[in-house]
Amino acid sequence: MFEQRIFQSRDPACKQPYGAVPAGTAVRFSVYPPREVFLRGVTLYIGADGDQPTAIPMHWDGLAGACDRYTACFTPAEPGLYWYYFQADSRTERQYICRGTGGVGYESAAPENFYQLTVYDGAYQVAGWFGRGITYNIFPDRFCRTEVPPKEGYRAPRVVHEDWNDIPVYQPDAHGEILNNDFFGGSLKGVLSKLDYLQSLHVQTIYFNPIFEAYSNHRYDTGNYKAIDPMMGTEEDFKTLCAEAAKRGMRVILDGVFSHNGYDSLYFNARGHYDSVGAFQSQDSPYYEWYEFSHWPDQYSSWWGIYTLPQVNELNPKYLDYIIEDEDSVIRRWLALGASGWRLDVADELPDAFIQKLNAAARREKPDALIVGEVWEDASNKVSYSVRRRYFQGGELDSVMNYPLRDGVMSFLGGSPAEDFAEKMECLRENYPRAVFYNLMNIIGTHDTPRALTVMGARPEDWSGSRDHRAHARLTGDALVAARRKMYLAATIQFTMPGSPTIYYGDEAGVQGFEDPFNRRTYPWGSEDGSLLDFYRRLCAVRAGSSALADGEIAFRRAEAGVLVYERWDADERLFVVINRDEEAVVRLACHEVQDLLDGGTRITADAEALALRMPACTARILRVIE
């Protein structure tokens, strides 16, 4: 019945307001069937997630060119996800208008792919300070040390690397286990000594991977939530760091690992290293109810079946008191000592009720406390353990780690068309509340992913080679030059999309590495990749000096094969971001004169009404329009 697009959910002529809306907002839907079809009627079907949709007849609302316009309004009363589609009836057939390729599809049978409407609590205000600035992600043991730490004096045995440039231990021990108990000695005092360096990159938020006492070097097996790991420093060191960071306009956020903790911990104490009665030792332990034993003490729920990570019951009242509710709870304690927020490890494994309580406690301690979730997919419609999550509906998360951005960037630079990247980002923009979309933690690398530079340049045989090969493999020569040029493109996209560009420590200095632990090598102080670091310095300065990049609107102007062009603007500034992945291309921009912000403000002027910009292969530009 239809051969042309009659509804586009991102077009204001079809749906107003754009994207996610606060509860109580009247949403206007309009469809535009060709006049020649002679429809008998159009019906909007819309309903809350899990409910049967309600049928709302659409009324004829005049002509729009050669099309009829049918319109209906719907006002969602409560936060949640709502799903909708349209039914169009002619004299002879019925067709459904639903989400499909290019944003619209037509089905003759009842559709399965609905349009999404995200509805949130408009009274809840996200901690929007985060998305406006640059974030620096520190893996504490590997960023900076002020001295080689002693080998003794810890609760558990530790291997200490004398040489800061060693390869982390990656081979299993005699029992076939990788213990992750080799340390390089990065510390809070080490970070303190590099605050001027971070300030030179215009960093406004320092995000730490776990800093609490633990058996392992990654510290995701928490040993004591209320104690800094002794190799990291002391509580006083933490307070000093937060205070000194604040003097430089920086905030600190911490990694909270609350779905599980350590086999070797104050709470489980399976190795007996703590002067406590842990759940492994006695069923009378004050912590016994935190865990789920199928056979005490040796059979218990653990995170992904890893025995060193016993899983907790997050909604156990005693656990809730310890982590969230008490005056000296873990959440409140570290905020009171100087932190500004928490990143929640594996947020999709934490119950919604737990996250809500955590958020409320954090806001009681600090009204602008930030809560960021680790979610790898579109978090607006995430389903985990058969439960639809409510992260953005109000009172849970202020942000998530933007893995879809990382995936989109890596795919685009690996050869997928620019159209796919633009569509992925537009999907998020449509599904997320605007305040969340502009508050995302924009990543291209983390401690859970291979180093971005390695992804850009490693050969297929490197990925399939032995672990020994990957431990020693390095990009050099032309391969390094090519990977570095791709890194420029990746970082430019990362720094110019809405949200906080988040540098995984050392990415700016050329650190390479495949999977864990090779992606967790030490920062190469004194041996940085000067070319890459210089580029990051310029990029950080551009981001820090731009109001349009901090909070301006965004629109994709061209997304075609290897060419990506988008515009950022606010009342004071208008920018074009131009990326060319492939061979030389000419890009036309709707302006007369621009400044190239990555090239010292060089001016480029059009010979005609529009600017025709020559883009060499594998180049990126950030252009400020001169009005």
Residues with a known catalytic role: 345, 374
Q: Which helix (H) or strand (E) element contains residue 91? A: none
Q: Distance between alpha carbon 310 and the CA centroid of its chain, in Å?
A: 26
Distance CA 344, CA 128 (A): 17
CA 153 to chain centre: 37
Contact 271, 280 (CB under 8 A): no
**Amino acid identity for residue 362 in this structure:** A
Query: Helix/strand/coil (H, E, C) string of 34-89?
Result: EHHHCCCEEEEEEEECCCCCEEEEEEEEEEECCEEEEEEEECCCCCEEEEEEEEEE
What are 370's strand-pairing partners?
A: 341
Please name the residue that has the structure tokens 């301690």: 365
Beta bridge partners of 83: 47, 116
Pairing of strands 15-16, 41-48: unpaired
Coil, helix or strand for 22?
Answer: strand
State how beta strands 27-31 and 41-48 pair.
unpaired
Task: Check the CA dihedral 516-139-384-314 and report its sign.
Answer: positive
Q: Is-contact 519 449, C-beta < 8 A? A: yes
CA distance 289 to 275: 19
- Specify the amino acid at residue 322: Y
Tokens of 521: 């090598």
CA angle 18, 554, 376 (to 5 degrees): 80
Q: Yes or no: say if 575 and 567 are a contact pair by the CB < 8 Å rule.
A: yes
Q: Give the CA-trace dihedral at 352, 356, 359, 364, to 10 degrees.
A: -160
> Nearest-5° angle of CA 15, CA 561, CA 598?
90
Query: What is the C-alpha separation between 529 and 535, in angstroms, rounded?
Result: 10
Answer whether 571's CB lies under 8 Å from 606's CB. no
